[in-house]
Amino acid sequence: MMNANYQSGVIADANSDALFVTLNVVEGSNRAVKQALAQSQGVIDAMKQQFSGQSLHAVIAIGSEYWPQISPLKRPLLLTNFPSVEGAVEMPITPADLLLHIRSDRHDITFELATRLIALFGSHVAIAEEVSCFRYLDSRDLTGFVDGTENPQGDHKKEVALVGEEDSDFEGGSYIHLQRYVHDLPKWHAQTLKAQEDMYGRTKADNIEYSSADKPLTAHTKRTSLKDDQGQSLEILRHSMPYGTLQESGLLFASYCRTPENFTLMLKSMVEGDGQGHGDRLMQFTTAVTGQAFFAPPLTWFKELG
């Protein structure tokens, strides 16, 4: 499809540990941030060599609203702000300027790379939020259901997640949507197993999807399994992971795609429903507290900054 002009973290296999850090640029710091971004891939590459074998990956992405300040003359064709949707549940829009998505199979290595990158940006950025995530059991959400079942596999991940020849200036980039959800686990655990499975549209223990005829219109898999006008499935690459303390826990949802439209349509289907009142019933047990749109540029973009 293309030369390896993409940040490895976009399509690399899932890890057991991840850190999502959103940053806002301090006023008057655009030039310094540009310099830091130009050096960032060197920092990442050096650590990947130092800790080879630990599946260390990172993605640095630029917020949709901040993009004009960092690259006013060249913009990804489809870059838009986080979609505004209206329905029974609220999906907040909380823009951030930069995203660091760092992951590996060792928490200390994830943390070390985050520390080095934050040091690179120095006082020119302020941390909006940092969320440390972990693999839960056999890749399950804290609700107990397997997460990411519909993810593309193998080389198909590139087709789904990476911008192609349709936008040659940004080929190898990826559109990212980020949401942090806080689960109401006591309320969830009070539901019967059958009620939980009906809300997902698949079984809990062995992760078998319901047949189409048996799937409620309000099931999560029903609301997020969409097709385009040609009957092709609308896909995204999910890098979502659970996070939590004993006081608050949930899911850090991360969507990577070659177009932002797929996520937007899924979100509308979940919140606005099918026009007949059938929204995603799972949303009654979790609350979105953030919503951000980013673009992860190809590697050549970082080199051009220098």
The residues annotated with a catalytic role in the active site are: 147
**Who contacts 289 (Cβ-Cβ below 8 Å, separation ≥6)?**
92, 94, 180, 181, 182
Q: 221: closest CA among 280, 263, 261? A: 280
Question: Side chain identity at 211, as an amino acid letter?
Answer: S
Start-to-end CA span in the chain (Å): 27
Please tell me the total number of residues recorded for the chain in this structure: 306
CA 199 – CA 20 distance, rounded (Å):
28
Only one residue has tokens 């120095």, namely 122
Helices (H), 251-290: 261-271
- Assign 174 to helix, strand or coil: strand
Q: How many CB atoms lie within 10 A of CB 267?
A: 24
CA 218 – CA 87 distance, rounded (Å):
14
Q: 199: closest CA among 274, 90, 280, 139? A: 280
Only one residue has tokens 């809990």, namely 204
**134 token code pair:** 């972990």
Handedness of CA 304, 78, 118, 110 (dihedral sign): negative
- Assign 192 to helix, strand or coil: coil
CA 236 – CA 238 distance, rounded (Å):
6
Burial class (CB in 10 A: 0-12, 13-18, 19+), 223: buried
